[in-house]
Chain A
Amino acid sequence: MSQIICRDLSLSYNGKTVSEGVSFTVEAGDYLCIVGDNGSGKTTLMKAILGLKLPDKGEILFDKESRVRAGDIGYLPQQTESSKDLPASVYETVLSGFSGKMGLRPFHTKAEREEARKNMERMGVLHLEKKSFSELSGGQRQRVLLARALCAASKILLLDEPVSGLDPNAAADMYSVIQDLNKNLGITVIMITHDIEAVVRYSSKVLRMGTVPTFFGSAEEYEHNSFHSENDEEDKNV
């Protein structure tokens, strides 16, 4: 069952076209990795799917039967320096994932508070609930933000370089919780990454941006395609 259908998208960043003719389909339960050089429009594509940016051309459709609306999508943004020193507790951070769903209702319901706790437990950060977000390690932060994304949506997760800046152990840890969400909760995962090993190991589909034509296919097809190796190795070192 298709959840998101993108047809012939053209995307631009700061007035410059970064990708053209991007077409792909996301099925329910997919684990899609988006790879490509820096500046090839990966994050821009993600923002377009989230409705934060309009594509110059083409369309993004959310399938009616699978009842996906823009609000059903959770998002884990790229880590930014500025968000690291905000004084907010872990619990507050996770709970804020519900804000979009609340409409004009000013306060959280009991059900929302319980679900926030459940999501923290799933991500293994419940014991940190009173800690300040700024005191956490990089890996803990990402898991807290993943718990927040789960509060926002339970169907599709968009992850923008979820392991960048993490040490190998924390990265492996992060991959395993993402896989758990995909396998056991059936959540569709769309992830931007430079980590080719992870692509081959975890993903079911791959979208490679920045080449003409844009590659879109299964992880096996991608692995057996020779074009990725050189460029992506470079990416990893960036």
Chain B
Amino acid sequence: MFKTLASYFSYDFVRYALIVGVLISLCAALFGVILVLKRFSFIGDGLSHVAFGALAVASVTGLTNNMLIIMPTTVIAAILLLKTGQHTKIKGDAAIAMISVSALALGYLILNVFSSSANVAGDVCSTLFGSFAILTLSATDTILCLGVSIAVIVFFVLFYNKIFLVTFDEDFAEATGVKTPLYNLLIAIFTAIIIALAMNLVGSLLISALIIFPALSAMRVCKSFKGVIITSGLLSVIATTVGILAAILLSTPVGATIVATDLLAFLLFFIVGKIIKA
């Protein structure tokens, strides 16, 4: 088995996949904690569908780098969703459900009507569930991913204390001079960026898992915020690494394998959490 793995690692694309996968899952896990605690997980879900719609448009226009369309669209959607979540006439969750199914439907429609590809169903399936796209990353993709992920992580570390307070108690944060709306906006924008990046890794339907699972697992066993953040990040990195390696060895779909690993880890943490509390 190790021999097989070693031989795979001699290929650039396997190494790229692993680097990108690890970085994206780390980012997703960090912001996942915030989203889960702020009760924003549905925003992640809505955004992933918007990202799918954007990808459909991008692939029809035939741009070589589809991130140019996906990233801005998702970011704008994130800002809109955040605004509707705050002061609403239409209930926030209903608005998000509406936007997300519309994006999904329109995306599929556009792909079907305009696509020049011979295998539309296959294309759609791979964008929804993650294809082997992660294994076809070029050096440029990897560098882009690397840069953005590092920016996200640096932001998180530098503003950790403010993010904590804004998550914990918005009113108190604002009353004591922390610019709460600004941080909420930044959190939404970074979430959108992570989701756009993660599309390559697990596909748009499974992104929520990458955001939610590590945070929920960590919250089963940790008592402090720092503990939850660190555990969530580590767990996510490990689950993604195991998932990618397993997918290569077993020739299973990468995205689904990663999510299955995350689910297994959650079950494990759930049981451990029960034992600790008992």
Contact = CB atoms under 8 A, between A and B. Distances in A.
Contact of A71 (B37, B171, B176, B224): B176
Interface stretch (A101-109, A119-127, A179-187, A221-229): A101-109
B114 interface: no
B9 interface: no
B223 A131 contact: yes
Given A83-B168, A92-B224, A92-B226, A100 B160 contact: no
Given A88-B224, A92-B164, A107-B161, A100 B171 contact: no
Contact of B178 (A88, A89, A99, A132): A99
A156 B171 CA distance: 17
B164 A88 contact: yes
Interface stretch (A5-13, A29-37, A72-80, A208-216): A72-80
Most buried by A among B157, B159, B175, B223: B175
A169 interface: no
Contact of A102 (B161, B226, B227): B161
A238 interface: no
B188 interface: no
A100 B178 contact: yes
A87 B171 contact: no
Contacts of A89: 223-226
A82 B157 CA distance: 25
Given A87-B222, A130-B223, A97 B161 contact: no
Interface residues of B, number: 29
B39 A82 contact: yes
Interface residues of A, number: 39
Given A87-B223, A99-B165, A106 B160 contact: yes
Given A87-B219, A93-B168, A96-B165, A153 B224 contact: no
B169 interface: yes
B12 interface: no
Nearest to B226: A92
Contact of B168 (A50, A86, A98): A86
A152 B161 CA distance: 14
Nearest to A73: B175
B162 A132 contact: no
Nearest to A88: B225
A198 interface: no
Given A106-B159, A130-B223, A152 B176 contact: yes
Interface string A45-71: 001001110000000000000000011
Given A87-B37, A152-B175, 12 more contacts: A52-B174, A73-B176, A74-B176, A75-B171, A77-B171, A77-B172, A87-B222, A88-B164, A89-B225, A96-B168, A107-B161, A152-B176
Interface of B: 37, 39, 157-162, 164-165, 167-169, 171-178, 219, 222-228
6 contacts: A73-B175, A75-B172, A83-B169, A98-B161, A100-B176, A108-B161
- The 3 A-B pairs with the shortest beta carbon distances in the complex, nearest first, are A100-B176, A100-B177, A132-B223
